[in-house]
Amino acid sequence: MSTATTTPVVHRKKVDWTKQALRAWAVLMYLFLFLPILWIVAFSFNTGRLLTVWNGFGFEGYQALFNNPAPREAVVVSLIVGVLSAIIATVLGSLAGVALARRPGKWTIVFLVFVALILVTPEIVDAIALLPWYVQLGQGWNLTIFNNGYVRLIVSHAIFSTAVVTLIVRARLSGIDEALEEAASDLYATPTKRFTQITFPLMLPAVLAGGLLAFTLSLDNTVISSFVSIQGTTPWPVYVFASVKTSLRPDIASISTLMFILTVLAISLVAVVLKRGGDSSGDIAATMTGTG
Amino acid sequence: MAMDTAEAVDTGSAAPSPRPGGSKRRIQAPKYALAIPAWTLFILFFALPVGLVLLYSLGEQVSAFVQKPNVSPSVWSFDNFGKAIDPAYMPIFWRTLKIATIGTFICLIISLPFAYWMATKASPRWRGVLLGLVLVPFWTNFLVRTIGWQIILAPNGLVSGWLQDLGLRDAPLALLYTQSGVQLGVVYNYLPLMILPLYVAFERIDPALTEASKDLGANRFKTFVQVTMPLAVPGAIAGMLLVFIPLMGDYITPSILGGSAGSMAGTLVAEQFLTTFNWSKGAAMAVIMIGFILGALLVFAILGLLLRTILRGRRRVRLPEASA
């Protein structure tokens, strides 16, 4: 926006103290934001028996991870649950998003209030609500499928992921003129063709981004998971949470570091997909916090 | 605008006027048809379970060994609420409210200059990277970040070590398992939820508006207070809600950094479900926690409206010709 750079007269620029102060503050904020993450990564190379006491540099933490089947199994459970709940959330959320953007009506408000309530309810409330509910379904009403740890985790994670995907897809389609799709119909496209050749390609970036976000949301979920999971299907955050309460070993930092890398990869992918879909950085931020 | 046309087109096609002599009437799917699977999921696994919590809060514990309470209408009472507001628990609810309120305001104050800098002062070329650097901690597992603080705050950890090196303290400082430790932890954990909406709000402000303000003779400070800040208020409100509500129900931060001195409502509720197995009492505590959240939001909303009225009254410019 500024055109000041074209000024031909060369003179010493006055130091903008406000800007310098703001920049210094930003540096401090970034240090604060990354401090515990750097600490965890550093301490994953700690050789001591206790996580909190630095002993020396080494890979014992990572070795322990590979020698002990429990954390490995926990990661596998997390990945299975993450993929399956993301698929459910992507399908249900995309359908709901299309309906919200293209078939608005009185129902839209009720549905959006529902979505907002799901996103805003503290996780602990969902957790204590779902635990008795699964017990009631599985043991009270003999729907034994809900005694399965995987089913419980997948369904629980799919709830809020579906809400997130719904909002992302709706936002994407609302920003695209329906005239494009109407033109397809005018040119004798069948409803199926209209969807597969016009609507779906247009909403695809949102669907992909939503699916990846759903996957990471599931991968990271701790509170609900630690209430609804049962022995044998412990996802990795629940394994870590349980370990923190008993003993803090360096391999906790190692598994955390590995999962951190996985999450960063998934999120970078989301950003790339959204960027290619034409979103500005502000739109991406809004999408990723669910405030869009 | 796209929505309007969609609606107009829709009412045309979705509700065909029934022709008097028409023999074949196509049955139209309702508008929400595509959303039915999501509806089903939300009702079966959100609305009904949360409803069940309300029901449980009215029931009574059968015995110390049975988790499922008796919820037949004949035993319904508010006894559980009486037990939940016991002097043993009430201070924890108030402490939760205090930690959440202070935490929300600290987040707001430290995020404001940062988000403003990122959205307006930082080079646009780097904005994506700068934003990404905020998203990384946000998407790092909540539990992992908290464990990071556990290591840092431990008596032999970083903070305590620095303070001793600087000669500010001669003995290890125990920030871990205190209320201050929890306060620091929640500010850290919810900070990105304040930064991002504020950033979005600042980024969407049209630069023409601030330029106009400067052209009309306002200095930078006046422009910031009277033009930029009011436009960022929706972002600030969104951020405060996004921080305050989950913070009130936080369970992980207090259980890792708090110990018994820093426990919060979330830990209290979880304890009833996971260790004491008194689901009725736990349900009542959860209802009280939600009551605290809604009550606090109501108070904040009223205070916010009052503040706005006062500020508007002070800012009003009286132009003699405006009344004509």
Q: Is A263 touching B (CB cutoff 8 A)?
A: yes
For residue A5, pLDDT beyond 60 = no
**Does A30 sit within 8 Å of B35, measured CB to CB?**
no
- A5 belongs to a structural domain: no
CATH number for the domain spanning B188: value is 1.10.3720.10
Instruction: Name the DSSP class of B70.
Output: B
Instruction: Return mean pLDDT, chain B.
Output: 82
Same domain for A278 and A194: yes
For residue B23, pLDDT beyond 80 = no
Among the partner residues A124, A245, A263, nearest to B266 by beta-carbon distance = A124
Indicate the range of B101-105, B161-165, B279-283 predicted with least confidence.
Answer: B161-165
Same domain for A119 and A22: no
With contacts defined as CB-CB under 8 Å, which chain B residues touch A140? 68
A17-43 vs B124-139: helix crossing angle, rounded to 10: 40
The span from the CA of A233 to the CA of A81, in Å, is: 10
The tens digit of pLDDT for each residue in B269-294 reads: 998 888 888 888 889 999 999 999 99
For residues A175 and A226, which has the higher predicted lDDT (pLDDT)? A226
With contacts defined as CB-CB under 8 Å, which chain B residues touch A102? 6, 10
Same domain for A117 and A38: no
- B13 belongs to a structural domain: no
For residue B60, pLDDT beyond 90 = no
Token duo for residue A45: 């190379």
For residues B44 and A2, which has the higher predicted lDDT (pLDDT)? B44
Q: Give the domain extent around B234.
A: 92-267
With contacts defined as CB-CB under 8 Å, which chain B residues touch A39? 148, 151-152, 158
Residue B65: per-residue pLDDT: 67
Same domain for A84 and A38: no
Same domain for A82 and A29: no
**Does B152 sit within 8 Å of A35, measured CB to CB?**
yes
Among the partner residues B5, B148, B250, nearest to A36 by beta-carbon distance = B148
Same domain for A120 and A26: no
**Does A96 sit within 8 Å of B38, measured CB to CB?**
yes
Label residue A256 exposed, middle or buried (CB < 10 Å: 0-12, 13-18, 19+). Answer: buried
For residues B236 and A49, which has the higher predicted lDDT (pLDDT)? B236
**Does A128 sit within 8 Å of B283, measured CB to CB?**
yes
pTM of the predicted protein model: 0.83
Indicate the range of A96-100, A244-248, A260-264, B317-321 predicted with least confidence.
Answer: B317-321
For residue B302, pLDDT beyond 80 = yes
- B79 belongs to a structural domain: no
Rounded alpha-carbon distances, angstroms, from residue B51 to A128, B206, B250: 12, 45, 21
**Does A35 sit within 8 Å of B32, measured CB to CB?**
no
For residue A4, pLDDT beyond 70 = no
Q: Give the domain extent around A29.
A: 14-43
For residue B5, pLDDT beyond 50 = no
CATH number for the domain spanning A161: value is 1.10.3720.10
**Does A33 sit within 8 Å of B134, measured CB to CB?**
yes
Q: What percent of chain A has pLDDT over 70?
A: 91
Same domain for A82 and A188: yes
H or E element, residue B61: none
Task: Name the band, by pLDDT with cuts 50, 70 and 90, for residue A130.
Answer: very high
**Is B152 within 8 Å of A35 (Cβ atoms)?**
yes
- B301 belongs to a structural domain: no
Q: If you measure CA to CA, which chain A residue comes closest to B243?
A: A120
For residue B109, pLDDT beyond 90 = yes
Same domain for A26 and A145: no
Q: Is A132 touching B (CB cutoff 8 A)?
A: yes
Q: How many domains does chain B have?
A: 1
- A79 belongs to a structural domain: yes
**Of the candidates B108, B106, B265, B241, which has an alpha carbon nearest to the alpha carbon of residue A119?**
B241
Residue B4: per-residue pLDDT: 42
The string of DSSP codes covering B282-319 is HHHHHHHHHHHHHHHHHHHHHHHHHHHHHHHHHHPPP-
With contacts defined as CB-CB under 8 Å, which chain A residues touch B119? 282
The CA distance from A260 to the nearest CA of chain B, in Å, is 6
For residue B257, pLDDT beyond 60 = yes
The tens digit of pLDDT for each residue in A200-249 reads: 888 888 888 888 889 988 988 999 999 998 888 999 999 999 888 777 77
Computed from CA positions of residues A216, A217, A222, A226, in that sequence, does the dihedral angle turn out positive or negative?
negative
Indicate the range of A9-18, A87-96, A103-112 predicted with least confidence.
Answer: A9-18
Indicate the range of B25-29, B159-163, B315-319 predicted with least confidence.
Answer: B315-319
B60 beta partners:
B70
Q: If you measure CA to CA, which chain A residue comes closest to B286?
A: A125
Task: Name the band, by pLDDT with cuts 50, 70 and 90, for residue B27.
Answer: low
- B189 belongs to a structural domain: yes
Same domain for A150 and A34: no
For residue B64, pLDDT beyond 70 = no
Residue B253: per-residue pLDDT: 93
The span from the CA of A166 to the CA of A177, in Å, is: 18
For residues B133 and B322, which has the higher predicted lDDT (pLDDT)? B133
Token duo for residue B100: 């959440």
Q: How many domains does chain A have?
A: 2
Indicate the range of A61-70, A147-156, B196-205, B239-248 predicted with least confidence.
Answer: A61-70
The CA distance from B195 to the nearest CA of chain A, in Å, is 10
**Does B114 sit within 8 Å of A25, measured CB to CB?**
yes
Residue B125: per-residue pLDDT: 82
Q: If you measure CA to CA, which chain B residue comes closest to A28?
A: B114
**Does A241 sit within 8 Å of B34, measured CB to CB?**
no
Residue B117: per-residue pLDDT: 93
Token duo for residue A189: 């496209």
Task: Name the band, by pLDDT with cuts 50, 70 and 90, for residue A95.
Answer: very high
The span from the CA of B60 to the CA of B58, in Å, is: 7
The string of DSSP codes covering B243-288 is HHHHHHT--HHIIIIITTTT--HHHHHHHHHHTS--HHHHHHHHHH
Interface of A with B in 10-39 (CB under 8 A): 18-19, 22-23, 25-26, 29-30, 32-37, 39
- B159 belongs to a structural domain: yes
**Does A93 sit within 8 Å of B38, measured CB to CB?**
yes
- A155 belongs to a structural domain: yes
The tens digit of pLDDT for each residue in B135-145 reads: 888 888 889 99
For residues A107 and A279, which has the higher predicted lDDT (pLDDT)? A107
What are the φ and ψ backbone dihedral angles of A57, each rounded to 5 degrees?
A: -85, 135
The CA distance from B115 to the nearest CA of chain A, in Å, is 9
